[in-house]
Structure 1
């Protein structure tokens, strides 16, 4: 069974189009990465830096709300009153902040 010349030309065109489509997609994603993604990351980094500069590093005033820092049983590490990733500057105990603060 012989293919007609028109069918062979159509088949070659479809094969060439399907193979060439992948290269264009990779090029498109590469361009999008450099034009959108990298500047987007740079803008996010600048935003974080500016917010960090404007942020106050003072410890907030301690308010003993009854529904916060409830301990029904001690933590299984340390003295039982400090969380696993306790930070004396930002994490208060039920009685208030530790160390010299306001």
Structure 2
């Protein structure tokens, strides 16, 4: 079985050998036969700058598109309005106080403008909370 596999590999290499194998060999040295790898890769015998194409695509196409999208988001995004507070008995339950700040009802990442306490928001809509531009 291994003889069949070796013969198949040898025949494949003979059919798909590179035409420029002998280029750059010492005089009198017999060139080695090698299999061709077609396309830009690290093992291709001639490195002709396939990476330059992808570098140029990245720098000239992808980077400007990312910057354009970032500019679009930065200039057109508007903060959605804060939801109205509705006191439901199943929401915002505090069985025991949080352990930071000597025990408090505020979660660790509390925002007084967006996160309601069990009794309502700390900051009204008209007041400036310092977190956003109104």
TM bucket (normalised to shorter chain) is 0.5 to 0.7
| Structure 1 residue 29, shift from structure 2 partner | 2.0
Alignment gaps of 5+ in structure 2: 1-16, 24-35, 38-42, 127-134
Q: Which has the larger radius of gyration?
A: 2
Aligned pair count? 92
2:88 corresponds to: 65
Alignment gaps of 5+ in structure 1: 1-6
1:86 corresponds to: 110
Going by fraction, where is helix more abundant, 1 or 2? 1
1:43 corresponds to: 68
What is the correspondence of 1:1-102 to structure 2 with a 5 Å cutoff? Answer: 10-12=20-22, 17-20=44-47, 23-24=49-50, 26-52=51-77, 54-56=78-80, 58-78=81-101, 79-101=103-125
RMSD of the alignment, in Å? Answer: 3.2
Higher relative contact order (CA 8 A, sep 6+): 1
Q: Is the 8 A contact 2:113 2:124 kept in 1?
A: no
